[in-house]
Amino acid sequence: VQPFTNTLAESVGAWGEAKLITQIRRWLGSASPASPFGVGDDCAVLAPANRRQLITVDPVIYGRHFDDTVSPLAVGAKLLKRNLSDIAAMGGRPTAAVVALTLDPLVSQTWLRQFYRGLARCAADHRVPIVGGDIAESPGIFAASLTLLGQATGPRILTRVGARLGDRIYVTGVLGGSLASGHHVKFKPRLAEGAWLAAQPEIRAMMDLSDGLAKDLPALCPPGCDPALDPAAIPRRPGADLAQALTDGEDYELVFVLSGRVDHERFELAWSRKFPQVKLTCIGNFVTNRTRSILAVDLKSFQGYEHLQPRRSLRR
C-alpha cells in the first residue's frame, strides 16, 4: 500500500493541520490521554518518576524502514516496537511516547488512519500513552520519529558495560532473514524478558540486536577480550545462513552476558521455566584476544548493517 495519493481530496493536505490533529487523536483513541496529559497544550504533562528513567528515539521512513509491501497497520506498530526493543534492552518498561511526523501533504488519509490505528493498538497492548507530537510538511516524504520514555522496573538497569573475561554470551530467539520473513514488522519486543534479566544479579550486560550480531556484539566485549563464538551454535531463522544470521539486522532479539562464575545450567533452567516459549542459546564466551580458537567465528570478516552508505535495498 502506497502512503501517497494523487487525489487531493483524499490527502491529509485537504484537511489542514487542525483537522488532521483532531483525526489523529480520534485514531489513537484511548492511547491519547486528555490534555494536559496528552495532546493539546504546549507540552504534555507526565507524572513524577521515582525510579531512574530511560529515553530513546527511532524513526520509520518510507523507502528506508518500510515499503509498499508493508501494511500501514504494521508500519505504525513497528514505529513503537523498534523503540520498545531499546527499552527492553535496558530492562525497563515504557511510560510515554511522542511522535513527530514529517510528511508530504499528499499522504493519503486512509493510509495515515491505518498507520495510527496500528500504532494505537500496539500502544494499548503495551499501555504506553501517546502524549504528544508534531506535524511538519516536507515534499515527497513520509517519516515518523517516535521518542519513548521509560523507567527502570527495579533497582537495576542493564547497560552494555559489565562483561568480563570468561562470561557466557546468550541470545534470545533466532537470527537472520528478518526482512525476507516479515519478522521486522511481526516481532514482539522482549520487554518481559529484559525486565526479568535485569533482576538477575548474575547477568552483567545486555543490548538488543538491530544491526546484526557481527556489528552489535563488539559493544558488549570487555577490553582485551574477543567473543569466541561457535558458528554451529548461532541460532538461525529457517532459510538463513550464517552470514545472514550475523549481518541481516533487525533481529530485535536480546543479547546478554552471564557471569562465567555461576552455574549456567541453573540459569538456563530458570529461564526455560520463566519463558518456556522463548528459545535461549549460549553462542560462546569472552576470551582474551590472544587465546581465541581458530575455529571460532571471526566477526570482523562479516559486516553488519552500515548506515549512511548508498544502497538500493530497504533498510534502516
| 89 is an interface residue for a copy of itself by CB under 8 A | yes
Residue 30: other Cβ atoms inside 10 A = 9
Binder of a copy of itself out of 143, 165, 243, 296 (CB under 8 A): 143
Least distance in angstroms from the C-beta of 13 to a copy of itself: 5
Question: Is 241:298 a contact under the CB 8 Å cutoff?
Answer: no
- Torsion angle of C-alpha atoms 252, 305, 96, 200, degrees rounded to 10: 50
Q: In this structure, what C-alpha cell is assigned to residue 251?
A: 533481529
How many residues sit close enough to a copy of itself to count as binding (CB under 8 A)?
Answer: 71
| 33 is an interface residue for a copy of itself by CB under 8 A | no
Q: Which stretch binds a copy of itself (CB under 8 A): 41-49, 171-179, 229-237, 274-282?
A: 41-49
Nearer to a copy of itself, 158 or 245 (CB): 158
Distance CA 213, CA 34 (A): 42
Residue 312, Ramachandran bin (φ over 0: left; ψ between -120 and 50: alpha; else beta): alpha
Least distance in angstroms from the C-beta of 162 to a copy of itself: 11
| 4 is an interface residue for a copy of itself by CB under 8 A | no
Distance CA 302, CA 215 (A): 8
| 163 is an interface residue for a copy of itself by CB under 8 A | no
Binder of a copy of itself out of 138, 288, 291, 293 (CB under 8 A): 138
| 172 is an interface residue for a copy of itself by CB under 8 A | no
Nearer to a copy of itself, 141 or 296 (CB): 141
Q: In this structure, what C-alpha cell is assigned to residue 38?
A: 496528552
Least distance in angstroms from the C-beta of 100 to a copy of itself: 4
| 302 is an interface residue for a copy of itself by CB under 8 A | no
| 58 is an interface residue for a copy of itself by CB under 8 A | yes
- Chain-centre distance of CA 236, in angstroms? 19
Nearer to a copy of itself, 40 or 260 (CB): 40
Binder of a copy of itself out of 161, 199, 269, 295 (CB under 8 A): 161
Binder of a copy of itself out of 1, 124, 135, 262 (CB under 8 A): 135
Least distance in angstroms from the C-beta of 97 to a copy of itself: 9
Nearer to a copy of itself, 161 or 270 (CB): 161
Q: Is 159 helix (H, G, I), strand (E, B) or coil?
A: coil
Question: Is 232:199 a contact under the CB 8 Å cutoff?
Answer: no
| 52 is an interface residue for a copy of itself by CB under 8 A | yes
Distance CA 208, CA 211 (A): 9
Question: Is 264:169 a contact under the CB 8 Å cutoff?
Answer: no
Binder of a copy of itself out of 75, 77, 120, 149 (CB under 8 A): 149
Distance CA 214, CA 58 (A): 21
Q: In this structure, what C-alpha cell is assigned to residue 205?
A: 550486560
Q: Which stretch binds a copy of itself (CB under 8 A): 163-171, 175-183, 259-267, 304-312?
A: 304-312
Nearer to a copy of itself, 149 or 197 (CB): 149
* Near a copy of itself in 91-120, by CB under 8 A: 92, 96, 98-100, 102, 105
Question: Is 265:99 a contact under the CB 8 Å cutoff?
Answer: no
* Near a copy of itself in 196-235, by CB under 8 A: 207-208
Please state, in angstroms and as integers, the Cα–Cα distance from residue 311 to each residue in 88, 174, 212, 270, following that order.
Answer: 30, 26, 17, 44
Distance CA 101, CA 147 (A): 12
